[in-house]
Structure 1
Amino acid sequence: MNLYKLGKLVCSLVFFPLYRIKVVGKENIPKDGPVIICSNHISNFDPPVVGITNSRNIYFLAKEELFNNRFLEKLLKSVHAFPIKRGMRDRNALRKGLEILKQNHALGLFPEGSRQKNGEVGKGLAGAGFFALRSNAEIVPCAIIGPYQKFKPLKVAYGKPIDMSAYREQKASAQVVTDRIMEEIRQLHEFHCKKA
């Protein structure tokens, strides 16, 4: 068993019972081919939670500062995380992300760039739109409906892939595309908050 699978197993054993995680819309995640999973960001636990609630092995972008610790750097790299500088203007990270998608893998993004501690869906950075426009990946919105409280339900909802064809044909700006992705996440979040 590789470290990614082991990490996924351990996190599943901890997070599912601790936060009583309920997953909705898992069938919306393509089983193969390039996919970008774009989620809102409310906690440091979001990456492992997104990782354990779907069947794809996800490559996550993680803030560069986390890689300054040698132990943490090895751990993050073993679970397919790679560094990006603040603001998502890191050319090496953007290149790496596109390469991952070209290899038909799944890329996990938190377009807001930082946690929204109030639980609301914030504004996204242009990086998500960049990846959506420069690849043929399916874009799957994800909403994490918290907060993270022990033994209280946490919902992770995946929406249907967003049709990017018109944006790609029109050569829309990366920010316009990110705004559309964030609106889908916001609607998904609001819908499931009402159902909670």
Structure 2
Amino acid sequence: MSSFDSMTPLESDLQPPVHSDVHVPSPFLGGFLRHNLLMHAAKFSFQASSNAGVLPPAQFTPWLASLAYPVGRYGLLPAYFREIEVIGQENIPLSGPVILAPTHRSRWDAFVIPYAAGHDITGRHLHFMVSADEVVGCQGWLIRHLGGFPVNTKRPTISSLRYGIELLRKHEVLVIFPEGDIFRGRDIQPLKPGLARLALQAEANQPDLDTRIVPIHIHYNQPTVPWKSRVKIQIGTPLRVADYNLGSPKNDAQLLTCGLFRSLKSLEERV
């Protein structure tokens, strides 16, 4: 039995609450995408498996991501927001395994993160960890083919967590909201330790992996994010996971979680 098998399956720490993570807002499914994508999506509508909560991995489609990112960057976001400011894009690693760790203030976060750090900026596709109940029907088809992958928060499985680790082993970019739920207030909320545990386990399995965690602070000038709001995205200095891999999984996860919290707090203070 591997060390990962012997661990408690991160339970609900790693996964955001059922109604929180990446939910694709309805504007994204309008106009061109509604006409062209949903007709095709109906043929592949995801039905959750009843076998012990087993969920298939993402079915990433590069051409669809190449279409969706520009639609968001040049169409949806400029039309909705009065101003979008991005600071610190030079802090995003252009190679190696990366976890983007943004604050979670709105469902719009799922759009502004690709705007700030998506493929057309870094040349790297993003893989959002998504609550399984969001990945259903046509919306689920779209999320999967844009690189998102589900985690069953009610019946978490080792296979879902392994998939996240496998993405890191392949030097991909994950997006995990460490606060878990959406919080409208400005203050950084206590972080769930699951992100740190996942990153540390990936490092333990492959000591030379060199995973980086990038803190990202998202600030909307109005908490409800109405039309013509302003948003500021600050990208901080990456944390090197190997620096926290000291041999005690529980303590190491606590130290890494605290380090990430301090980084996010520092970004918050610059707003």
TM-score above 0.5: yes
Partner of 2:231: 154
Percent of residue pairs identical: 26
Asked if the contact 1:87/1:113 (under 8 Å) is kept, the reply is no
**What is residue 60 of structure 1 aligned with on the other side?**
128
- Of residues 186, 198, 202, the one that matches 1:119 is 186
Letter matched to residue 198 of structure 2 = F
Secondary structure at the counterpart of residue 264 of structure 2: helix
Q: Does 1:31 align with 2:94?
A: yes
Partner of 1:18: 80
CA distance in 2, matches of 1:89, 1:180: 26
Gaps of 5+ in 1: none
Aligned residue-pair number: 191
Which residue of structure 1 lines up, in the alignment, with residue 243 of structure 2?
166
SS in 1 for 2:77: helix
Tell me if 1:46 matches 2:109: yes
SS of aligned partner of 2:106: coil
Aligned-residue RMSD, C-alpha: 2.0
SS across alignment from 2:141: helix
Output the amino acid matched with 1:27: E
**Which residue is equivalent to 1:104?**
171
Cα–Cα, structure 1 residues 129 and 66, in superposed 2: closer, same or farther, change >3 Å? same
Q: Structure 1's 49 and 126: CA in aligned 2 closer, same or farther, altered over 3 A?
A: same
Structure 2, unmatched stretches of 5+, are: 1-61, 203-209
If the length of structure 2 is used for normalisation, what is the TM-score?
0.65
Moved >6 Å (runs of 4+)? none
Q: How many angstroms apart in 1 are the aligned matches of 2:147 and 2:126?
A: 7
Q: TM-score, normalised by structure 1?
A: 0.88
CA distance in 2: counterparts of 1:85 and 1:189, whole angstroms? 31
State the Cα distance separating 1:176 from its structure 2 match.
3.4
Q: Is the contact made by 2:245 and 2:252 (CA closer than 8 Å) also made in structure 1? A: no
Alignment equivalent of 1:72, drawn from 124, 139, 153: 139
Do the aligned residues in 1 keep the contact of 2:211 with 2:240 (CA within 8 Å)?
no
